[in-house]
Every structure is written in C-alpha cells, then in structure tokens.
Structure 1
Amino acid sequence: MSLETAPFVPELASPDELRAWYEILVAVSVDFPSSPVPSYESYVHQLNQSTSFHGLLRRWDAREEGRLLGTANAIFPTDENSGLALISVRVPDRDRRAGVGTRLLRAMLPQIHEHGYRAIAGTVKAGADGERWANALGFQTVLQRSSHHLDITSADPALWQVEPKSGFRLHRWTDTAPEDLVQGFARARNAIADSPAGESSYRHPNWTAERVRQYEAKTREGGQSHRYVVAVDERGGTVAGFTEIAIVPGQWSHCTQEDTAVLPEFRGLGLGLAMKASMMRWLTADLPRLEQVRTTTASENLHMIRVNAQLGYRTDYTLATVESEVGALAARLDSRGPRAT
C-alpha cells in the first residue's frame, strides 16, 4: 500500500473532501453501538473549529491514490496540560491492520515534538482494535471510563422527580453564569478534581471566575449551548455542587452530560441526584425532540454510576485512556522502520 499523509485544513477543503471525512466518522461509529452520529452539517461546523477550550486543534489525513483511508487530530493544551498532547485517530475496519493509523501517528509526532509536548494521550474502546493497536505501539492504558446512555423515549419520568434536601435550592441557567453565583460556581467546578483519574496525566482546569467566562465564550464560539443546574446552600449562599449538559445545534435528538461535582463538605446529601434529576425535567420539558443523553464516568466512580442508574442510564461499553511519552514513542516507531503497521 502506497500511503500519503498530510495536514488537513477544513476551511480549504472541497465539498468532496469534507464528505469523505464525514464518511470516515460514520464508518468508525459502528464500533460504538447506541452512540448517535451527528448530521453532516453539524459535523462540518465542528470540523471547521481550529481551537478547543484546551488549545489549538490540528488535523491530518491518510490517502492512497486519492482515497481517504483514515483521519487524525491533535489538541495542544495550555495551562495545566501544556505537556500533554491529546490525539484521536480514526481508521474504518476495512483499512485496519495495514499501517494507516501508525502512519498518521508518525505524521503528527513532528508537530507534537515541535510544540514541546512530552506526553501523548488518546481515548480508544477498551478491548477492541484501538486499544490493541495502541498497546502494541507501547501506549499504556492509564484509565478506564464507562460509557452510558439514557433513552428518554423509554425511561420512566418518575425517576427524575427528586428534590434536594431541605436547606438547599436549585438554580438553573443557560450558557452564562449569573454574576452573583460565578465565584461560587468556579469553586464548585474545582470539586471535579476529586474524581477518580487512574494513572492519567491529565489535570482538570483550575477554575476561577475569569476562567469560567473564558470557557463560556469558547463554547459559544464553537456553536454549543451549555445548561447548568447548581445546588445552593440557603444558609450561606454557597454553591454546593453543579451539573452541566452540552447541546450542539443541529444535533437535537441527543446531548452530552458533562461534569457533575459536589463540594466535599456537602457530599452524601443526594445533591448530585437532585441536580441531575432537575436537569432531566428541564431538558424534556424544553426540548421535545431530545431522545438520548450520553455520558462517560470513570469506571472506579461507583457512586456516580449508581446515581446514573437511578436516573435510567444504561452502560454501553468501556473506554480506555492510553498514554505514552513522546520521545519513547518516536524511538519505538523508528525501531520498526519506515513502514510500521
């Protein structure tokens, strides 16, 4: 196979090239049953984003005689994760085991090295081709996360009729935190750092009010809408916890449950369940086309998995976070020769 890899710039791509990238996404989606596939228009909108909240976003593809065989992207984080590049490689089953993914990895490494990143991490399906490929290249599995979905069309709404304990009130907003709550909200966001992280090098952001505003601006720029429910301690006005949902315009049938966290001094009071239940009541009342909510939770986080089950979530599969030092990975690839598979 004569492979060619090259950087891919979506805004310079032809409609046929964009369609080919979308078809790769559709082809690899069979590995993730029950996970909805975004519409072509929504996917292209996201593809044209050159940055994420974490940092710069760059893309590559692999072709043989013009036919697209695989795609890849790398995020170059700043701040807490400035030494950890986050990558994704997609190769459909029909073109696997022929060196496509490894060639894409080789194509990314020079830029990762030039940016000064010491480690590289990605997420693959545990026990499947992606994890076997990564482990064969020397990546170590450092964290496992369980993927769950809530099927709104078959779930019992009675599961979402949960109110917070006396002394707490729930507050909702879309996209922009109220000025009187943003400081407390930032503190509550930092509680996610207590969640199980295995041996992963990834570090959660150090949230401040300023960083919350930056995140809000970045999500709006990317075309997303985020909804929040927080629990407020009525005795002192402390934001005791929060939960977050991300909605991508054009993907009206499904959304993503993002972080949920409660400050240590308020844990064990059922606030996580109450906030997430309130979010489900809000979503189903407001978004009649919504059919599914998806989320991932560290497999060690048995408490949150139980909370999700109480709301009607079902477990689909396990995801593995894999990591390698950049220098060690480059050396291993060099030892395999120019056509590593």
Structure 2
Amino acid sequence: MPPNPSPLTAPTAEDFRAWHRVQSAALAHDRPGEPVLSATALQAKLTTTGNRSRLLLWLVRNANEEPVATATLRLFNEPGRSHLAEVRMTVHPAYRRLGTGSRLLSTVTEAAAEAGCRSVVTEVMAGTPHEGFLATRDFQPVLRLTWQRLALDDVPDRIHKLPDVPHPGYRLTSWEGVVPDALAESFADARRGMDDMPTGAVDFGEVRWDVDAVREAAEVIARRGERLLTVAAVDALDGSVAGYTELVIPAEGAGTAQQYDTAVLPAHRGHGLGLWVKAEMLRRVREEFPQLSAVQTDNADDNRHMLALNTALGFRPLRRTVEYQLTLGRR
C-alpha cells in the first residue's frame, strides 16, 4: 500500500537533499539532457516566498525511508487570486504506477479545498502518461505552452546590431534587482502590458501590481541568490516605461537563464519595442555573464506574436507542456 503523504512542516537539510534526489531522477528520466538545479538553488526556491503567496510542501518516503515523491502547493494571498492554487508534483521514476501519485494528488487537492480554493492548476509534459493520469481525475486541459531555448552562442549576427537601431521617441535603460525609484511608478503601471497575455481557460484571476509588489518580487529573487535583470524602453517625452523584459540569472552566474515577463503597453505597440528590449538583454548577458550558455522561456501556444519574436531572436523549440485545471467540488 502506498505511504500516507504528510505535510513537511519543518524540513531539515536531509529532507531537501532527499527532495533533490527525487527531482534529479525524474528530470533525467523525463527530460534527459536538461540542466538540473543544484540542491542549494532548489532549497532556496522551496523556502523563499513573498507576501503574495505561500508554499506547502510534501515529501513522501517509503517503508525504507527512501524518498519517492514530492509535491508543492502554492496558495495565493492576494485577493484577486486567492481562489487559485498551483500544484507541482513529482514521483521518482522507480516508484511510479504504485499508487503514490494518486494518493499524493488527492491529499494536495484536499488541502487546496480546505484553504478555500475553487481551482487547482498543474503543468505536465504534453503527450505523456501524465496527461491521462490527470484526465481520469477530472482535470481539464486549459492552456498549451511551448518552451523555447536559445543557445547564446547561436544568437544571429543581425540581433547584435538591433540595440543600436534608433526607435524615435524612445530610449533604452536597464537595471539589476529592484527598480530605481524614479521609474518605480511607471514600471508598476507597465505591468498592465501583461493583462492581455493569453491564459487559455485558466481560472487565472487578477494580478494587481503596485510599487510595493514590484519591489517585493525583485527582493524575493535576490533572497534566492539569483540576479534579476531588466531592460526597458522608456518614452522619451515623459520618461515613463513603455515596455520591458526581465531575465533571471542563476546564483552561479552560469548555465541557463530564465526569461520572465516581456510586455509592451498597448499604446506603445507597433514600434518594435519588444524585439528591441530583448535584443539589448541578449547583448548585455553575453557581455556580462560569459558563463551563461542559454536562455529558456515559455509562452502560450496562442501567443503567436511572442513565439514569432523569440524565433526571430534565435530561440528553438525545447518541449511542449499542458496546464490542467481541476474545479474543486465537482467530484
């Protein structure tokens, strides 16, 4: 009989090492060749959150105290998203099809219901048995995503010239970490450029950005030991942020960087600002982080504009995933 999952309320260093073993084994099996987070980086991600959300953790061990599965449940504290929970669950390849995943998923979704959530979302690789596993448990596919990867050695030559191409009425600026005070208000406003991001049928809710929220998001990344870089296009007339792109550099300054948000406010679209800021970001990281090998990003399949923009920059398809959603109380 599968072990009873119980929440990890006071994780130890050994718990995090065990968690890392499960994650590493699953990644090697499911996505061979992709980089594995270090144990230190993984622990930082599991233990560092801001005021807008919190994480509940489960680590399942068998009768021999071997780690066999992990799960996280992200609960949102902000009013516009308190109805939604995000689940990330991993079962060690050697212990699959033994019932552990079923019991763990049931435990985690019950915890979401007890927290007052109405929807649970999770993400799995497209075309794998994980899709059938969720479908038989009343989860519905709500968003399809394409992940892309850019090898920094393969950036097309023409992209290196784009930052020097003038865009009348705009100028480029950049910063690391927390946004400078002079741009804080307009940068928070520029987050509205993500409001029309395709989210499929996900019960996404409303993300409200203000200066405090923008600063806190950057501070959380810093507490994880990572580095947040931002490049923005600024309106030359009033000095406000018209569009921006963000990249998170691993703590080691090497390996694969993760693309975060890229957005242009509706009033400033049609001027090539998205390509401009992303090209400048690539120029900067190639110069300042020579040990970085690649940048990774994901976009909804419906976001054809951003997928095409990334392809123009040299990104290539890496994998496809599907977000599934469970409406609590249906079963």
Q: TM-score range by the shorter chain?
A: over 0.9
Q: Which one-letter code corresponds to 1:144 in the other structure?
A: R
1:33 is displaced (CA, Å) by 4.6
Q: Give 1:303-318 correspondences, 5 Å limit.
A: 303-318=305-320
Given that 2:228 and 2:249 are in contact with CA atoms closer than 8 Å, whether structure 1 keeps it comes out as: yes
Residues in 2 aligned to 1:34 and 1:161: alpha-carbon distance in whole angstroms:
32
Question: Given the alignment of the two structures, is residue 146 of structure 1 paired with residue 146 of structure 2, yes or no?
Answer: yes
Question: Given the alignment of the two structures, is residue 93 of structure 1 paired with residue 130 of structure 2, yes or no?
Answer: no
1:184 is displaced (CA, Å) by 1.1
- 1:36 aligned partner: 35
- 1:337 aligned partner: none
Between the two proteins, what is the percent identity of the paired residues? 31
1:321 is displaced (CA, Å) by 0.9
Residues in 1 aligned to 2:157 and 2:188: alpha-carbon distance in whole angstroms:
31
Given that 2:85 and 2:117 are in contact with CA atoms closer than 8 Å, whether structure 1 keeps it comes out as: yes
- 2:234 aligned partner: 232
CA spacing shift, 1:218–1:45, aligned 2, 3 Å: closer
1:168-213, Cα deviation, whole Å (9 max, x unpaired): 1000000111111111111111111111111111135221222212
- After alignment, is 148-157 or 281-290 more displaced? 148-157
What SS does structure 1 have at the residue aligned with 2:153? coil
Residues in 2 aligned to 1:53 and 1:145: alpha-carbon distance in whole angstroms:
28
Q: Which one-letter code corresponds to 1:24 in the other structure?
A: V
- After alignment, is 185-194 or 101-110 more displaced? 101-110
- 1:113 aligned partner: 113
- 1:272 aligned partner: 274
Residues in 1 aligned to 2:284 and 2:3: alpha-carbon distance in whole angstroms:
50
- 2:217 aligned partner: 215
Residues in 2 aligned to 1:140 and 1:52: alpha-carbon distance in whole angstroms:
29
TM-score, structure 2 normalization: 0.92
Q: CA RMSD in A?
A: 1.8
- 1:296 aligned partner: 298
Given that 2:2 and 2:98 are in contact with CA atoms closer than 8 Å, whether structure 1 keeps it comes out as: no
Given that 2:50 and 2:216 are in contact with CA atoms closer than 8 Å, whether structure 1 keeps it comes out as: no
- 2:22 aligned partner: 24
1:289 is displaced (CA, Å) by 0.5
Counting matched residue pairs gives 326
Residues in 2 aligned to 1:137 and 1:25: alpha-carbon distance in whole angstroms:
23
Q: Which one-letter code corresponds to 1:160 in the other structure?
A: H
Residues in 1 aligned to 2:170 and 2:184: alpha-carbon distance in whole angstroms:
17
Given that 1:39 and 1:250 are in contact with CA atoms closer than 8 Å, whether structure 2 keeps it comes out as: no
- 1:165 aligned partner: 167
Given that 2:142 and 2:323 are in contact with CA atoms closer than 8 Å, whether structure 1 keeps it comes out as: yes
- 1:63 aligned partner: 61
What SS does structure 1 have at the residue aligned with 2:7? strand
Q: Which one-letter code corresponds to 1:81 in the other structure?
A: R
What SS does structure 2 have at the residue aligned with 1:181? helix
What SS does structure 2 have at the residue aligned with 1:242? strand
1:327 is displaced (CA, Å) by 1.8
Gaps of 5+ in 1: 332-341
Moved >6 Å (runs of 4+):
none
Residues in 2 aligned to 1:299 and 1:182: alpha-carbon distance in whole angstroms:
31
